[in-house]
Structure 1
Amino acid sequence: MAATELMLQDDERQTEGNSLLDVSVTIEPLPPPHIIPNGNARCNPSSATTDHAPNTKPKCNHDDRQDGGSSVTSKSSRLIRSLSNGLRRHHNYVKIPIPDGRGNRLPREWWKTGVAFVYALFNLVLTTVIITVVHERVPDKSVSPPLPDKFFDYVERVPWAFTVTEVNGMVLVGLWFIQWLFLKHKSIIGRRCFFMIGTLYLYRCVTMYITTLPVPGQHFTCAPKLYGDSERKVWRILRLISGGGLSITGSHLMCGDFLYSGHTVTLTLAYLFIQEYSPKKMRWYVVLCWLLSAVGIVCILIGHEHYSIDVVIAYFVTSRLFWWYHTMANTKALRGAPNNYLSRTWWNPIFNFLESNVTTPVPCVFSWPISLPWCNTNPCEQYSMVEGDANRDE
């Protein structure tokens, strides 16, 4: 019994000792291998150390490094081959950019042209109203004889000369209208023309109203004055509008619209637009239009229908307005320049409205008035592929 108890006590002490000797073993993850430029993995000394052999030195496996480098090299080679194949496939093509509507520097903007047309129409109607008003203030030629004019002193009146003026004016306006229809950028050019017509006739309303001149000659036959008869004045306005303000149509029987000459404005403006938007190789056409304009203006004076000052001022105002406007329109640097004195004109805000999106001079390009369906191109196509070699790699 004593021997048995001694054995049991030894077993219990051994069990308690084992329970006190708990060993904690922590396994840390190995760091990833470092890739060097030649594609091999650098050996980590700590990765070669084990718990069983703490003093052994790490050894690099040459075969493993060779396998890792070859795999990286093969991937790089495949990438280079794919890029070179792509370059060989497309090296025979050239990309040509085609501007679309978003990058268009000459947008049509027909609604602005419509606004300019309403502006011109309003001032033309206003001119007929002012003529009717001024007619009531023209002094009788028996009381106030014609003012002395140097041209009239040297040139006798030719009765049919003014008819030549109106015929030349209608021919020039007709030629310009046909030319305008065949211009590619007709919307931009049209709004410029309407703006200048409206502005010139607005100036004419002012000069006619503030200074009423007597008739230039004794041959004038003015319609009787109506004084306070508003209804008949309205009918005169409508008659003048329906006849285009021309004497050959029998619609212009009123006097007082002398300063300045509306016929000179029409002849000069039509010629300037024809000259500006005609190709250089059609010089004969421009010269012919200049002759029509010049002969028409001279015939105004030969017919003694306007004073010489009327014609001079009309030409000066029309030509300067045309040249000022196109100088600002064709020179982009002038629009925002602080030293641009042309921008001090009262119509500069209207100019900025009409020309805000026109960023380049309008070229003289012609096209059909109605676009044909087989001539239309795809506006969404931005690039055109030009084949350089027929035997290209597909």
Structure 2
Amino acid sequence: MITQPLMTASSSSDTETDGYSPCPSQMGADLPAEPHKIAIVAIFLAVAGISNWAALAYIHDIVGREPLPDFIFSLIPQQAWALRLGDLMVTFCAGSMILLFIFHKHRAVVIRRSLFIIGVLYTLRTLSMMCTHLPPGYDDNNTRCREQLNGTNINWKIYFSRLLEQTIRVGFQDIEDKMLCGDLLFSGHTLVMVVSSLIVGYYLPEKYRYLRFFPQAFSAIGMTCMIVSRTHYTIDVFFACLLTAGVFALYHAFCEIDTYRERKNSVLGNVVVFAVVQWLEENVVPGRIENKFEIPFYEKIRNCLDPTRRQRNADSNLSNSSSAAVIETV
């Protein structure tokens, strides 16, 4: 009769010493929204995206116009219609991710994690584009791409007009008009599709798990379209898949390390970028968060419309006043 409580107390002590406690979401508590972190990560993503478009505005006048050999290109002729379908698949994937953001119970945590991962990937894409300039893969590059300007013709006004155009269009280009060319290694379309399917698959509640097949199917179709339309080389899509899956897995592997101590002492803890991840996750207890859907602001709206709310507040205030009076008397 005495042994069991002693074992429980010892176990509790070990847990406290180890720095681990159950995730608040698993105990029914809400995780902190921390909107300032979402704002900072959103700014980081915006800067990363703009850096991509700035790189494209610069690279366009440098890259060659003779397409490189590609294995898939040698098997399947260019399919111009596929680019429009590929853009549609990107939209569907991004839409599914946004819907998850809206209805997930812990949407604030999911949003800041997702935006940070996408921001890191776009930063890597900017570095990749600036390091190696691949020529566009279209059969008719000179027809599809805008005219290149030499050093005497180009000026800052042209450069910033290109950047502004890409920013307004959020990176999409009008396929009916001549395009800026050179944003190839690696595929931004594939980045968005793969990260959307991974996020939806990871954060879907168990009873809705079958829905993960939709963004996965959209991604498969979209990646195929990127290659057969010659928008990207096969290597662009392949590297985008590997890097996106790798960054996503590393981030969530860090989150799932059981204790803060183990996080600090792990291999990932020694990587500089994970100091930022540690800051993002400092108020989220280690482990997987509870995946549950809810209608946004439903509880707040219901409380506001509850006719008994005023009476309950009045009773609560009266109870608090009585408690304060008793304490003061004592």
1:200 partnered with 2:133: no
Gap change, CA 1:131 and 1:364, over 3 Å in 2: same
358, 362, 374: which is aligned to 2:302?
374
Q: CA deviation at 1:174?
A: 1.4
Structure 1 residues 197, 337: closer, same or farther in 2, change over 3 A? closer
Classify the secondary structure of the residue corresponding to 1:281: helix
Letter matched to residue 370 of structure 1: F
Among 143, 146, 169, the alignment partner of 2:90 is 169
Matched, 1:364 2:291: yes
| Partner amino acid, structure 1, of 2:297 | I
2:33 paired with 1:108: yes
Any residues of structure 2 matched to 1:283-298 within 5 Å, and which? 283-298=209-224
Q: Name the residue aligned to 1:209.
A: 130
Say how many residue pairs are matched: 276
Greater share of residues in helix:
2
* Equivalent position of 1:225 in the other structure: 148
1:203-282 superposed matches below 5 A: 203-220=124-141, 221-226=144-149, 227=151, 228-248=154-174, 253-282=179-208
Deviation at 1:217, TM superposition (A): 2.5
Partner of 1:390: none
Percent of pairs with identical residues? 26
CA distance in 2 between partners of 1:241 and 1:155 (Å): 33
TM-score by length of 1: 0.65
CA 1:343/1:131 → structure 2, altered by over 3 Å: closer, same or farther?
same
Query: Take 1:188 and 1:251, find their aligned partners in 2: how far apart are those partners?
Result: 40
Please name the residue that 1:124 is paired with: 49
Does the residue aligned with 2:42 lie in a helix, a strand or coil?
helix
Contact 1:158 1:302 survives alignment (8 Å) = yes
2:111 maps to amino acid: G
Distance 1:149 1:126 in 2: 28
Bigger RCO (CA 8 Å, 6+ sep): 2
CA offset digits 1:319-357 (Å, max 9, x no partner): 010011011112233763565222233311110111111
Change (3 A) 1:286 1:249: same
> C-alpha separation between the residues in 2 aligned to 1:365 and 1:170?
24
Within 2, Cα distance between the matches of 1:313 and 1:253? 23
* Deviation sequence 1:113-154 (CA, Å, 0-9, x none): 111111101111111111111112112x2xxx2211111111
* Distance in 1 of aligned mates of 2:187 and 2:98: 22
Q: 1:336 aligns with which of 245, 248, 262?
A: 262
CA contact (8 A) 1:334 1:340 kept: no
What is the letter of the counterpart of residue 235 of structure 2?
I
Partners of 1:342 and 1:251 in 2: how far apart? 45
Displacement of 1:373: 3.7
1:185 corresponds to 2:106: yes
- In the aligned structure 1, how far is the partner of 2:263 from the partner of 2:171? 41
CA distance in 2, matches of 1:277, 1:149: 36
Per-residue deviation, residues 281-326 of structure 1 (Å, max 9, x unmatched): 2233211221111111111111121111111111100001001101
SS across alignment from 1:336: helix
Pairs within 5 Å for 1:60-79: none
Structure 2 CA distance for aligned equivalents of residues 296 and 337 of structure 1: 36
Q: Aligned partners of 1:329, 1:307: CA distance in 2, in Å?
A: 34
What residue is the counterpart of 1:138 in the other structure? 63
1:5-154 correspondence runs (5 A): 106-139=31-64, 141=65, 145-154=66-75
One-letter amino acid of the structure 1 residue matched with residue 123 of structure 2: L
CA 1:250–1:119: 2 relative to 1, 3 Å: farther
2:276 matched to which residue of 1?
350
- Pairwise CA RMSD: 2.6
1:392 is matched with which residue? none
- Opposite residue 44 of structure 2, the aligned amino acid is Y
Residue 17 of structure 1 is matched in structure 2 by none
Unpaired segments of 5 or more residues in structure 2?
1-23, 317-330
Contact in 2 for aligned 1:261/1:311 (Cα 8 Å): yes
Aligned to 2:323: none
> Quick one: structure 1 residues 356 and 334, their matched pair in 2 at CA, closer, same or farther if it must change by over 3 Å?
closer
